[in-house]
Amino acid sequence: MKTVYSPLHAGHGGQMELVAGAIVPGFEKPSRAEIIRGRVESEKLGPILTPVSHPLAAAARVHRQDYLDFLPTVWPLWEASGKSGSAIPFTWPTRGLRGDVRPKTIDALLGYYSFDGGASFVKGTWEAIKSSYDVAMTAAGIVKAGERAAFALCRPPGHHAGAAFMGGYCYINNAAVAAQWFRDQGAARVSILDVDYHHGNGTQEIFYRRGDVQVLNLHGDPMTEYPFFLGHADERGAGEGEGFNQNYPMPFGTSWERWSEALDDACGKLLAYAPDVVAVSLGVDTFEKDPISQFKLKSADYPKIGKRIAALGLPTLFVMEGGYAVDEIGINAVGVLTGFES
Ligand code: 6XA
Ligand code: ZN
């Protein structure tokens, strides 16, 4: 399996986030992607390719143009306003406030285009976001060209990003962009299977009223887990999308036995939908030692995930999302891919 990777991700480093009442270095850090790349090499998964630069037209198919135009301006506006450190929003247009009026200053715009303070900017953040998009698009092209599967080693991740908002370490929704691109290239139906520990609220928002992209999501129950405000089992899609969104919220402590039942059910629904191609939002923060998550999957479980996905018999694009136990992130992420290939 080919991997697509860009070193430009590393410019998005040293950013800060709010955890348990303190501003601390982000868990979503450059070493994550470097360790996965190292494991791709040592496991001889296949060649590692540099992405081809793509215009943002494919991103504009799922994101609002004003949001995409905003992202490259964040750091310049932040610096021009005399600030240093990480650009982090602190005010959001929630219930009772105006979300329909685009404000003018950088602090206000950061809040306008986000749902939390978890997607901060440093100097190299935009270049990293763009490279992550290029990685996803290049890997999607490899699958479209006829390869059974490809691995988009995206960083930053994407599944929390919606049409016009960032959050949860995510800016451009790489899996959603790729799914839409497959549709635009002629795929009749596309499925997105999100196995990250956190609900992919951005992906769900983007396709919620669509019957041509099925979204299946396995995650920590939002009653008690981030992102808290989406991801319940009764969210089944709306309008033409009715029945094409499926959530599998699970409690803290969930281990392979229960988690794999949800995966089997999701795979059954996926096969019934009969898509032309599958995009997997591949998070490995379901791991028992993940520092911010509460599931109990073991390293030996990840190849089984890959095997189960391979049994679908469909062209498959793996898109990297979360996973913060850096010591094992390479073993677990590449474990899924080698399991797929076995
Ligand atoms: C809240 C936790 C963000 C989780 C990001 C993630 N600061 N999403 O891994 O999949
Ligand atoms: Zn996650």
| Cα 146 to Cα 35: distance, rounded to the nearest angstrom | 28
pLDDT at 206: 99
- When pLDDT is cut at 50, 70 and 90, the band that residue 8 belongs to is very high
Total H helices, total E strands in the chain: 10, 10
- pTM over the 0.95 mark: yes
| Strand-by-strand arrangement of the 277-282 sheet | 48-49, 2-4, 149-152, 316-320, 277-282, 190-194, 213-220, 245-250
Round to whole Å and give the CA distance between 315 and 1: 12
Share of the chain above pLDDT 70, in %: 100
Residues with Cβ within 8 Å of 76's Cβ and at least 6 positions away in sequence, in order, are none
Is the separation of the CB atoms in 288 and 323 below 8 Å?
no
Q: Strand, helix or coil at 213?
A: strand
- Distance between CA atoms of residues 342 and 36, nearest Å: 19
Measured N-to-C along each axis, helices 256-273 and 302-310 cross at an angle, to the nearest 10 degrees, of 20
The whole-number pLDDT of residue 192 equals 99
- Alpha helix positions (H), the chain: 30-42, 65-70, 74-80, 106-112, 125-144, 174-184, 201-207, 256-273, 302-310, 326-341
Which of 159, 174, 196, 198 is the best mutation target for the ligand 1 pocket, counting ligand atoms within 8 Å of the beta carbon and taking the most? 198
* Residue listed under structure tokens 């986030």: 17
Q: Mutation test of ligand 1: which of 15, 19, 24, 27 has the most ligand atoms closer than 8 Å to its C-beta?
A: 27
Q: Is 12 a catalytic residue?
A: no
Give the list of residues 6+ apart from residue 85 with CB closer than 8 angstroms, or none: 16
Q: Which helix (H) or strand (E) holds 250?
A: strand 245-250
**pLDDT tens digits along 272-322:** 999 999 999 999 999 999 999 999 999 999 999 999 999 999 999 999 999
Nearest CA to ligand 1 atom 6: 322
Tell me which of 159, 160, 198, 219 is the catalytic residue.
160
Ligand having the closest approach to the CA of 168? 1
Q: Residues 111-135: pLDDT tens digits?
A: 999 999 999 999 999 999 999 999 9
Q: Whose CA is nearest to atom 4 of ligand 1?
A: 168
pLDDT in tens, 26-70: 999 999 999 999 999 999 999 999 999 999 999 999 999 999 999
Q: Is 121 in the pocket of ligand 1 (CB under 6 A)?
A: no
| Residue 192 CA, distance from chain mean position | 11
Tell me if 67 CB under 6 Å of ligand 1: no
DSSP per-residue letters across 61-98 = GTS-HHHHHHGGGHHHHHHHTT--S-B-------TTS-
Which pLDDT score, from 0 to 100, does residue 28 have? 98
The pLDDT score that the predictor gives to residue 268 is 98
Q: How far is the CA of 93 from the centre of ligand 1 (A)?
A: 21
Q: Do the beta carbons of residue 245 and residue 237 sit within 8 Å?
A: yes
pLDDT at 92: 98
Q: Whose CA is nearest to atom 1 of ligand 1?
A: 168
- Give the single-character DSSP code of 248: E
Q: Does the Cβ of 226 fall within 6 Å of ligand 1?
A: yes
Distance between CA atoms of residues 119 and 228, nearest Å:
16
Beta-sheet pairing, 16-19 with 22-25? antiparallel
Q: Which of 132, 197, 226, 293, when mutated, tests ligand 1's pocket best, judged by the most ligand atoms within 8 Å of its CB?
A: 226
